[in-house]
Structure 1
Amino acid sequence: MTTPFPTATVTGYPRIGARREQKRALEAYWAGRIDADDFTRSVHTLRVETYHRLAELGLREDYAIPASYSHYDHVLDTALTVGLIPTDTGGTNTGAAAGLDAYFALARGTSQRSPLEMTKWFDTNYHYLVPELADSTVFTARPHHLLSLVAEARAAGHLVRPVLVGPVTLLALAKPAPGATTLPLDRLDELTLVYRDILTGLSDAGVDWVQFDEPALVADIPGTTDARLAEAARRTYATLSSATVRPQLFVTAPYGSLENGLPALAESGIDALGVDLSAATRGADPDYAPRLAATLPPSVHLVAGAIDGRNVWADDLAASLDVLTGLGRESLSVSTSTSLLHVPYTVSQETTLPVDVAFWLSFAEEKVTEVEALATALAEGAEARPEAFNRAERVRRTRASSTRVHNAEVAARTAAEATNDGFRADAATRIAAQESLGIPDLPTTTIGSFPQTAEVRRARADHRAGRVDDAAYEQAMRAEIDRVIDLQEELGLDILVHGEPERNDMVQYFAEHLDGFTTTEHGWVQSYGSRCTRPPILFGDVSRPDPITVGWTRYAASRTPHPVKGMLTGPVTILAWSFVRDDVDLRVSADQIGLALADEVADLEAAGIGIIQVDEPALRELLPLRSRARAEYLDWSVRAFRLVSAHVSPQTQIHTHLCYSEFGEIIEAIDALDADVTSIEAARSRMEVLDDIAGFGFGRGIGPGIYDIHSPRVPTVEELRELIEAALKHVPAHRLWINPDCGLKTRDYPEVRASLANLVAARQAMLDSVQVTV
């Protein structure tokens, strides 16, 4: 007799540890402070404790807990599980059955090989490693890692649900390896047979449910169509469901609503379908719930993701219960709309949040209890969980009436700028005016941050805790700025930065200085690997009470005759890397942040700073997954960026920076930002983006990154020179900037010194070898 699907579940859970235990274990292993056995014991403990905690929170039924753990990235893990690996790894399986070093070589690179390309996971701030599929790749079932997770959990008293990226999504996100002639999706039927072999192995191990995540079915994927992906899913899951020996199949479609994919999955033979029914998705697609009720046959168990897995606001349980009961289904479970990978662990750890704001929040643990409360209410009525439903109602009322949320002055200013398109003088006028800056051909610079040493972090922590006073803290930060300026002058960089030692994070730092935001102590979320961020929480109208960066930038400029860039984070990135309000449209918050930053730009300009960089690495990240909604988003997001510099003089050079995005999809929007210089990630993709730039006719300064800062390896002068040479085929020297892919915060000084020295040497070699003219 098969196990029924649990009435309450989540589709994924944070894996870094409530106190970032995995991050510390990873970095200790990479640094050689612990060995493989120590690392394995550490993460084993973390996983088992997570299972115990989820059971305590209410996920006690068999297979209610997903085995969604990964050492680094779940896409990489699935690619290895099915044998989809790069051709230069010698066919080594780098899953749990093989060496950790081989696994991490794919993720981080080594001195001998570059890492896999990294990009954003749909419209989230999580980064995944892009699988590369060669013509010679032979798919092979390697379920060792999944089987070990199952056995480990069973030994600890839990029947967990193995999780894999589904075959359609895996190939939709993969890229052809260099020299490949076959598109990844063309090999779906072949890959499906390997997934079937994996199902057989799981069934033999006594597994009754397996989860396949298929978010590609809610998105418009370049190079294919929604209809083609839906047909691929129908064919794939019909094959998998027809297997004689298999667990029951639970397919999830997070991050939005299914269109063609809904009828395709409904008739494919799967056993359960998980859908995103969060308030955000219901708002974007009001017909989604009725469409589900009308399309899904009784034979497919519906797992309704009513609890938002991506934002931190407590759920309106009464409204969600109305939606669930309105589906009119007997075969129904409650879940999160997405994996809880995207939210922090628990509000209970926070001691410094404003009391009223804290009351409005729900992190991963709290969301699990909301799932359990909804599932119980669905079966027994809301009166079965009076405390949960009464609290949800108080949250709704107090947020709506809070004077902390609304600021009449900010609202009036935002309304007054409603017709401002943000355009400055034309580009030709600005180029002529900026000749006074004296910028050479192939100018070298960095993106902003320099390594954050233990001493710098300690000084910030001591100041925050009151152990050092303002004067001592300022002295420590100035000493680090001196170090950064001296290093850049020593290396021969042209345009300098102050290094941002005072900033814990490029978004959090600004949030701490803007009204309308609050920040957490322990609200860490995984971005990739061991990289974690603490997204600020945007709860109200935004304004800037005082200057934020001016003092530090002015000091750096006083220490050198070279130009020093002012460094700001743009409004769209601040939104994308924060937990945002769900009570107003995003464009309202974007305009408010843009106007607050415009005040900062005006003060920098008044302080004599002639180059100001406004970073927007997340511009592509918020792009709607469906193409029909993208033009509207790009219109308001680009306008918000332009508001930041709308009133600066033509002599002030405005830079922006974008990273880890599919730039070709938004090249018109990048151009519409109207920045004087745009720096972009390009090293891992070996300048692929330049085809988009050249094809579009981008006419202003461009800095395609040549140093991949997300890997610890030091690129050689020859490698860097080759990238510069490739860039010069598309961009003339007077418009080409030489810079890293991104900020240097996560690297250490020996790596940075060597890499930047090679960058400057590569640039000089190009100048020496060719006649560069303006």
Structure 2
Amino acid sequence: MWKHNLGFPRIGINRELKKASELYWSNNIDCNQLFEIGRKIRFQNWNFQINSGLDLITCNDFSFYDHVLDLSFLMGVIPKIYLDPKFNNFIDLYFSMARGYQDNEWDIKAMEMTKWFNTNYHYIVPEFTKDQKFFINSNKIFSEIDELNNILNSSDKIKPVLIGPVTYLYLGKEKDESFHKMDLIDKITFFYIDLIKKLVKTGIKWIQLDEPILSLDLSDLEKKSFKYSYEKIYDVFSNLDIKILLTTYFGGLLDNISILKNIIDRIHAIHIDLIEDPNQLDEILSLIKKSETILSLGIVDGRNIWKNRYSNSIRNIKKVINSIGMDRLMISPNCSLLHVPIDLDKEKSIHIDIKNKMSFAKQKIDELSDLEKIIKGERSILLKNSYLVDKLDQSNIIHNKKVKNEYSDFQEKDIKRKSSFSIRQKKQQKRFNLPLFPTTTIGSFPQTKELRSLRNKFKKKELSKNRYEKEIKKLISYVIKKQEDLNLDVLVHGEFERNDMVEFFSDKLNGILSTKHGWVQSYGSRCVKPPIIYGDVSRTDDMTTNWICYAQSKTNKFVKGMLTGPVTILKWSFVRDDQPIFKTAYQIAWAIRDEVLSLERSGIKIIQIDEPALREGLPLKKKNWNYYFNWSINAFRIASSGVKDDTQIHTHMCYSEFNDIIEEISELDADVITIENSRSNMDLLKIFSNFSYPNEIGPGVYDIHSPRIPTKEEIFKLIQESSNLLPIRNIWINPDCGLKTRKWKEVFKSIKNMTEAAKLARIKLSD
């Protein structure tokens, strides 16, 4: 039985990569210093996995920004626009693709970014041309093999990982409509063959090719592409001393079992995800039983932080051993551990009963060793695991009878606004009297080093509550005045009291806890600390009302109340695994509803309930969509439907593919929805236009994930294009996301250009 891992977090145990990247971007360290920090993180990760007893050590899972971008860079899939500036080195070209680039001579936008399947990780979308060429453009993968070889003194245990050819094409987009990206399967397959040949020369014995799209609903063309690509790869390498491990995760294989039947004799090992789909094991076993294919079981949860229930895993391990033997068995986490924090041992303040049921990346690697020991007869490990897991499941720490009885369901009246949108819109227009193309922001303003230090001192009790609140009020007053000076129409309070849009609320709700060091990468240097929903969720007091009301007291303009929606709190947290997920969603929704009504009673008439995670929560298989939408839409409507007609509900969604779910987005019945639009070149807005989306919409007119400052002219052009697609009266003007990661100088210039463009639009585009 082999123990291995599909990938390890790359941010560093103390977020060293985030800090180093941001220092490099601000010209405070040079590229050699950045590379050295990356090398230290890799060595730290490898040494831990070696010492934990893994039989294969994965490399090429490290990235300075994004592993999909790394592969694009490796294959030379670099849009021509990024090749024009004279960058000093490859890393500047690489970062320009992810973040854009702007100086006195060059002004280049960042590439499009979207969610990695149904996770909160974002990847940079590859761009393909009809005459696309693939060639080895980077030696990163070879360098990592050399580094790891120097530690191991043997290449036999090294397993480099690459996204597989079919998934990579699937993740990208065509730059024009004259071809289909799968038309490139021949070219890319021969690139992989050439690359693998060079990798074989390094002496490695294993290569991991990730093909998570096998968990999706695939077209005939995509199925044919799989068959073609892996037949070609096998034909070249079948007689060589190299094993291809084809990995799938985020779902089961059974709906695509025909693909596996076609290629099962042409791969050396197949990895399946038994966390997301435990029911697939029997059929997969029957398929591979007569072959020589090795089976890798993904039995440790790489996307949640709960301890593995060893009794279930041992049952599956024994089933495989009895069927095909221990020599053909591998065990690992179900997916890369990129999606969980690194080390639970750093958490010192979590209740011991809860902590005893938890497991971070390091602990999950150790769980593999525990499972091997149990198989070898160490039954005490199994008994201890069962005791710790069962103890919390039965504890009063997680169960609240009142919450279960009152907040885990709803009646029809709880999920409907009093009147239709057409009636509400008239009442709201009369109340607010906003101009055409009203301007606003998504909510947050820059979170500076000084602000983070202020919050940290307060948290450590080095600063009194009175002093802390005075400082936060100063910032709110400052940003209200700045927004007025910039001529924004609807203002926000800036969210200076909030560390994160989910963590802030988790700290104020019962049944949820926050970690101190549980950082997870979202994109690039952006890291978040997902809260842990361990029990029944409830609200006991106001969470935001005092701060929003203070901001409103400083202006005659309307200030938005800013809340995070129930689905996003759920999806951006690690969720309890002892009850159906919809029950937890409804509990959170009722808590947010109470806060919405508190804001309304306090005179706040525009309230934004952000749901950027609604799309990412969508099951990968369409057959499961109805169930998801039934509870997710109901959860949003529980939170939002208790207000009066003239209270305006906004929601925000970013970097989502809306093509297949536009009807469901409409069913949310938010008065205003704001979306990302600047990176996708109006593609998302066209979906809303073709659907004739009935409510108001704010298509983001500039990309906040890039440091470049958009010009007034380009923003006006986007507004103009929007007005050709949507009713003018329904269009809002806003950035495409919150501004917390940006610098004040960038923000002020960008918003000024945005409000000036809106002014111009009112003159040139009004009826």
Calculate the TM-score normalised by the size of structure 1: 0.94
- Alpha-carbon contact 1:199-1:246 (below 8 Å) kept: no
Structure 1 residues 197 and 143, CA gap change in structure 2 (3 angstroms): farther
1:65 positional shift: 3.1
2:307 is aligned to 314
Alignment partner of 1:332 is 2:329: yes
Alignment partner of 1:629 is 2:624: yes
- 1:590-619: CA deviation from partner (whole Å, max 9, x where unpaired): 111110011101110010001000000110
- 1:171-192: CA deviation from partner (whole Å, max 9, x where unpaired): 0111012x35211111112110
Structure 1 residues 361 and 452, CA gap change in structure 2 (3 angstroms): same
* SS, match of residue 371 in structure 1: helix
1:725 positional shift: 0.6
1:169 is aligned to 167
Deviates more, 1:407-416 or 1:726-735: 407-416
Query: Letter of the aligned partner of 2:181 in structure 1?
Result: P
Match of 2:293 among 293, 300, 303: 300
- Alpha-carbon contact 1:456-1:480 (below 8 Å) kept: no
Query: Letter of the aligned partner of 1:187 in structure 2?
Result: L
* SS, match of residue 303 in structure 2: coil
For 2:302 and 2:314, how far apart are their aligned partners in 1? 17
- 1:646-667: CA deviation from partner (whole Å, max 9, x where unpaired): 2211010000000010012211
1:344 is aligned to 341
Alignment partner of 1:264 is 2:255: no
- Alpha-carbon contact 2:409-2:586 (below 8 Å) kept: no
- Alpha-carbon contact 1:716-1:758 (below 8 Å) kept: yes
Alignment partner of 1:188 is 2:172: no
For 1:136 and 1:232, how far apart are their aligned partners in 2? 18
Alignment partner of 1:206 is 2:203: yes
* SS, match of residue 661 in structure 2: helix
1:414 positional shift: 2.3
* SS, match of residue 305 in structure 1: strand
Query: Letter of the aligned partner of 1:291 in structure 2?
Result: E
Deviates more, 1:314-323 or 1:493-502: 314-323
Structure 1 residues 415 and 115, CA gap change in structure 2 (3 angstroms): closer
1:603 is aligned to 598
* SS, match of residue 242 in structure 1: helix
Match of 2:270 among 259, 273, 286: 273
* SS, match of residue 533 in structure 2: strand
- 1:172-215: CA deviation from partner (whole Å, max 9, x where unpaired): 111012x3521111111211000000000001111211111000
For 1:81 and 1:620, how far apart are their aligned partners in 2? 30
1:228 positional shift: 3.9
Structure 1 residues 656 and 727, CA gap change in structure 2 (3 angstroms): same
1:743 is aligned to 738
1:373 is aligned to 370
1:581 positional shift: 1.2
1:436 is aligned to 431
Matches within 5 A, 1:73-88: 73-88=66-81
1:711 is aligned to 706
1:3 is aligned to none
Structure 1 residues 415 and 527, CA gap change in structure 2 (3 angstroms): closer
For 2:122 and 2:463, how far apart are their aligned partners in 1? 37
For 1:296 and 1:476, how far apart are their aligned partners in 2? 64
2:282 is aligned to 290
For 1:558 and 1:154, how far apart are their aligned partners in 2? 63
Matches within 5 A, 1:390-409: 390-409=383-402
* SS, match of residue 477 in structure 1: helix
Query: Letter of the aligned partner of 1:353 in structure 2?
Result: I
1:396 positional shift: 2.2
| Number of aligned residue pairs | 749
1:460 is aligned to 455
Structure 1 residues 420 and 336, CA gap change in structure 2 (3 angstroms): farther
- Alpha-carbon contact 2:60-2:140 (below 8 Å) kept: no
* SS, match of residue 462 in structure 1: helix
- Alpha-carbon contact 2:189-2:229 (below 8 Å) kept: yes
Match of 2:92 among 74, 93, 101: 101
1:769 is aligned to 764
1:261 positional shift: 3.7
Deviates more, 1:741-750 or 1:183-192: 183-192
1:259 positional shift: 2.6
Alignment partner of 1:586 is 2:584: no
For 2:411 and 2:204, how far apart are their aligned partners in 1? 57
For 1:703 and 1:110, how far apart are their aligned partners in 2? 26
Unpaired stretches in structure 1, ≥5 consecutive residues: 1-5
1:515 is aligned to 510
1:92 positional shift: 10
Structure 1 residues 64 and 390, CA gap change in structure 2 (3 angstroms): farther
For 1:711 and 1:376, how far apart are their aligned partners in 2? 49
Structure 1 residues 421 and 545, CA gap change in structure 2 (3 angstroms): closer
Query: Letter of the aligned partner of 1:342 in structure 2?
Result: H
For 2:81 and 2:257, how far apart are their aligned partners in 1? 38
Q: What percent identity do the matched residue pairs reach?
A: 39
1:395 positional shift: 2.1
1:362 positional shift: 0.5
Deviates more, 1:137-146 or 1:586-595: 137-146
Match of 1:197 among 194, 197, 200: 194
- Alpha-carbon contact 1:541-1:592 (below 8 Å) kept: yes
2:37 is aligned to 42
Structure 1 residues 754 and 686, CA gap change in structure 2 (3 angstroms): same
1:752 is aligned to 747
- Alpha-carbon contact 1:276-1:305 (below 8 Å) kept: yes
1:93 positional shift: 13
Deviates more, 1:638-647 or 1:431-440: 431-440
For 2:134 and 2:408, how far apart are their aligned partners in 1? 57
For 1:181 and 1:141, how far apart are their aligned partners in 2? 26
Alignment partner of 1:361 is 2:358: yes
Structure 1 residues 100 and 316, CA gap change in structure 2 (3 angstroms): same
2:633 is aligned to 638
Alignment partner of 1:472 is 2:480: no
* SS, match of residue 140 in structure 1: coil
* SS, match of residue 650 in structure 2: strand
- Alpha-carbon contact 1:256-1:281 (below 8 Å) kept: yes
Query: Letter of the aligned partner of 1:264 in structure 2?
Result: I
- Alpha-carbon contact 2:182-2:221 (below 8 Å) kept: no
For 1:29 and 1:200, how far apart are their aligned partners in 2? 35
For 2:171 and 2:329, how far apart are their aligned partners in 1? 30
Structure 1 residues 74 and 416, CA gap change in structure 2 (3 angstroms): closer
- Alpha-carbon contact 2:46-2:57 (below 8 Å) kept: no
- 1:529-585: CA deviation from partner (whole Å, max 9, x where unpaired): 100000000011110011000000000000000000000000000011000111111
Matches within 5 A, 1:538-549: 538-549=533-544
Alignment partner of 1:620 is 2:639: no
Query: Letter of the aligned partner of 1:344 in structure 2?
Result: P
For 2:408 and 2:113, how far apart are their aligned partners in 1? 39
2:531 is aligned to 536
Query: Letter of the aligned partner of 2:245 in structure 1?
Result: F
Query: Letter of the aligned partner of 1:631 in structure 2?
Result: N
Matches within 5 A, 1:548-697: 548-697=543-692
- 1:158-178: CA deviation from partner (whole Å, max 9, x where unpaired): 64311111000000111012x
